[in-house]
Amino acid sequence: MTYDIFPPNNFLGLEEANTTYDNSAALILPLPYEGTVSYGQGTRLGPQAIIEASQQVELYDRELDDEPALTHGIHTLPALAPVVRGPEHVVDAIAAYAEEHLHSGKLLVGLGGEHTVSVGMARAVKAIYDDFVLVQIDAHSDFRDSYEGSPYSHASIGRRIFDMGATIVQFGIRSICREEMEFIRAEKERVHVFFAEDVHAGQHVATLPDLLRGRTVFLTIDLDGFDPAYVPATGTPEPNGLSWMQGLEIIRVVTQLSRVIAIDCVELAPIPGQYASNFFAAKLVYKAIGLTLAKRNET
């Protein structure tokens, strides 16, 4: 008797031959944390929504003329269980989990969850690679020293990662407070912000080689960096955001100029019955993985 079964419940729905840990060049790390959100709710559901949407993504990439998932292998790790003692303890747990797997040399890809998860990812990057650049696609600079009483708020991740010694390059920023603006003006050596209007005008392109060439990069993609016409399912949508093509071109340039060793995609708050945002996130993550691993294969 023959019968059909559902595909495996992993990123892209890959068969076992293409998703074993040892034979995979990329690791998916689901981080369903939601604890400091300040507007829309639901980011804890983001990782599973991205995984489910990814199972509808075509594996063939026309730009690369390849099926990166089959060529390189992508393994999905178990989701990190919630830590209820507060965001600082969540960051500690994420850092330990991420560091364990970054030691493998594989590309580590976190799926959030709110943006606080990126602090844990960055702490792991710092522990292994020390000097790195945070490249951030976002509507918000996240440079508040604390927000609503927490230094580990989703609104403070840029500041916490700056405190690690990282250089920070941001794209698409269009919502900012006075404290953050003063911080940006005071830290011009290590903070480089391309506001949304700068990206729309193409003013970021010429300076990227000087900022990124040869550097070790952690790429964090907050989905509210994109215009809500493309990604409405996020807790803090802001008008005048990036398009698919603008975001993809930033990722393409970053992967070509630098050594991307970790990526995360955060702040998806799925809307029941509306799948466009979920699919957008899944396809963007797969595209970022494909571009990163293709570049690694060149060297």
Over range 25-52, report the average pLDDT: 87
Give the span between the Cα atoms of 277 and 265, in whole angstroms.
12
> DSSP letter at 224?
G
Over range 82-108, report the average pLDDT: 92
Per-residue pLDDT reduced to its tens digit, 168-225 = 999 999 999 999 999 999 999 999 999 999 999 998 989 999 999 999 999 999 999 9
Confidence of residue 80 (pLDDT cuts 50, 70, 90): very high
HSE, side-chain direction, 13 A CA sphere, residue 63: 10
Per-residue pLDDT reduced to its tens digit, 206-220 = 999 999 999 999 999
Is the pLDDT score of 41 beyond 90? no
Amino acid at the residue 153: S
Per-residue pLDDT reduced to its tens digit, 69-79 = 999 999 999 99
HSE, side-chain direction, 13 A CA sphere, residue 247: 29
Q: What is the predicted pLDDT for the residue at 152?
A: 79
Strands of the sheet containing 133-137, edge to edge, are 74-76, 26-31, 107-112, 259-266, 216-222, 133-137, 167-173, 191-195
Q: What is the predicted pLDDT for the residue at 72?
A: 98
Is the pLDDT score of 129 beyond 80? yes
Is the pLDDT score of 154 beyond 90? no
Selected residue with higher pLDDT from 299 and 18: 18
Q: Is pTM beyond 0.85 here?
A: yes
Nearest in space to 89 (alpha carbons), one of 19, 10, 26, 150 = 150
Domains of the chain in sequence order? 21-298 (3.40.800.10)
Give the span between the Cα atoms of 165 and 48, in whole angstroms.
32
Residue 24 vs residues 19, 59, 107, 128, 289: alpha-carbon distances, Å: 6, 15, 9, 20, 12
Specify whether the CB–CB gap between 235 and 270 falls below 8 A. no
Note the residue count of the chain: 299
Specify whether the CB–CB gap between 45 and 272 falls below 8 A. no
Per-residue pLDDT reduced to its tens digit, 260-291 = 999 999 999 999 999 999 999 999 999 999 99
Over range 154-159, report the average pLDDT: 89
**43: region left, alpha or beta (phi > 0 left; psi from -120 to 50 alpha):** alpha
Q: What is the predicted pLDDT for the residue at 269?
A: 96
Q: What is the predicted pLDDT for the residue at 243?
A: 98
